[in-house]
A and B are shown apart, each in its own frame.
Chain A
Amino acid sequence: MLAAAVAVAIAAWLRPGGDAAAIRDRLDGLAQEINGGLTDEGAALARAQQIGDYFDPDVTIELGRGSAPIEGRDRVIDMAARLQPRTNRFTIRFTDVSVTMTSPATATAEFTAEFVPRAGTGGTLDAREFSATLVRSEGEWRIATVEAVEALR
């Protein structure tokens, strides 16, 4: 009886959390897309388009530390295509993802982005905290805003 109760409790704890789980999967998908590795120019553009699909058309990205905001999905696609040789030096992973549903079609996500250098690039691991809002459009969760959170000011 006790074992059954423990099993039920563990199953409930491990059960995917609906929209929150979908948003986590979406962020993992974005990381996988970014981590795809260096490709030729045509493939880089195709990958940039796929990365762009994770963002709302009116997305705003504020990286802080004096960086100008990145506004609009087209700008994100352009930057993803142009910067691929640089972004290929590291892989990205999102950890400590915390999702809060603010309505059935909007959510906020707080997470740490870890930038892990690929072997042989000589880089060092870096990590930054971000806060994002996501909107559900056409059945998919898309990133509408991203803002860097400064843990140390």
Chain B
Amino acid sequence: MPSFRDLTFGRQPRRTAVRVIVLLAVSAAVLRWVLIPVRAEGISMEPTYRSGQLLFVNRLAYTFSRPSRGDIIAIRLAGPHVLYIKRVIALPGERVGIDHGAVDVDGRPLTEPYVVRRRAWDIPAVTLGSDEYFVVGDNRGMDAADHDFGRVDRVRILGRVIF
């Protein structure tokens, strides 16, 4: 019958220790540079995400591609420790505005099944630059004045929220 020590550390404790160290190092590297855990704060992404919910941001999501309409993205402020979580509703070069709560992109209404409540926001149309995206939260039931949204430069997009 194997001893307690064998069950805990294996028959080769030194090899087990190396495995544990490698596992911890890989986990730390992934959580630092690839899959960043973030906690949602505030109500601007409700009902998709609730305040206090734990999310993960894939920093490699846009290494070989560009953000798409409908993606939920993380936007950095001065650094990666405080982020905005928003949804992309318009892409570079497009003209976007909000009229009585309805989003209009290049003259066509945008279908947004993720928006449950909608106030009559009126945001004048803007044409996005070649590296600009228009982002907004899913909670349109709040006052526009209390909601951070607008044009964001591609360089500020840290990655895609995956779950």
A, B bound: yes
**Measuring CB to CB, which residues of chain A are less than 8 angstroms from any residue of chain B?**
95-98, 110-112, 114, 124-125, 127-130, 149-153
Instruction: Contacts A114-B82, A149-B78, A152-B151 known; list 13 others, CB within 8 Å.
Output: A95-B78, A95-B79, A96-B81, A96-B82, A110-B78, A112-B81, A124-B43, A151-B77, A151-B152, A151-B156, A152-B135, A152-B148, A153-B150
0/1 string, B17-43, CB within 8 A of A gives 1? 000000000000000000000000111
Contact residues of B between 47 and 85, Cβ < 8 Å to A: 51, 75-82, 84
A96, closest chain B residue (CB): B79
28 examples of A-B residue contacts, CB within 8 angstroms? A95-B78, A95-B79, A95-B82, A96-B77, A96-B80, A96-B81, A96-B82, A97-B78, A98-B78, A98-B79, A111-B78, A112-B77, A112-B79, A124-B43, A125-B41, A125-B42, A127-B77, A127-B82, A129-B77, A149-B78, A151-B76, A151-B152, A152-B84, A152-B86, A152-B148, A152-B151, A153-B150, A153-B152
The binding surface of chain B is classed by DSSP as: loop
Q: When chains A and B are docked, how far (Å) is the Cα of A38 from the Cα of B35?
A: 40
Q: Which positions in B face A, CB cutoff 8 Å?
A: 41-43, 51, 75-82, 84, 86, 135, 148-152, 156
A-B pair count, CB < 8 Å, reads 54
Q: Which residue of B lies closest to A124 (CB)?
A: B42
Q: How far is the CA of A98 from the CA of B76 in the complex (A)?
A: 14
Residues of A within 8 A of B156 (CB): 151
- Smallest CB-CB separation from A111: which chain B residue? B78
Are A95 and B84 interface neighbours, CB within 8 A?
no
Closest to A128 in B: B77
Q: How far is the CA of A95 from the CA of B76 in the complex (A)?
A: 12
B75 touching A151, Cβ below 8 Å: yes
B147 closest partner in A (C-beta): A152
| Most chain A Cβ neighbours within 10 Å, of B43, B75, B82, B151 | B82
A124 contacts across to B, CB distance below 8 A: 41-43, 51
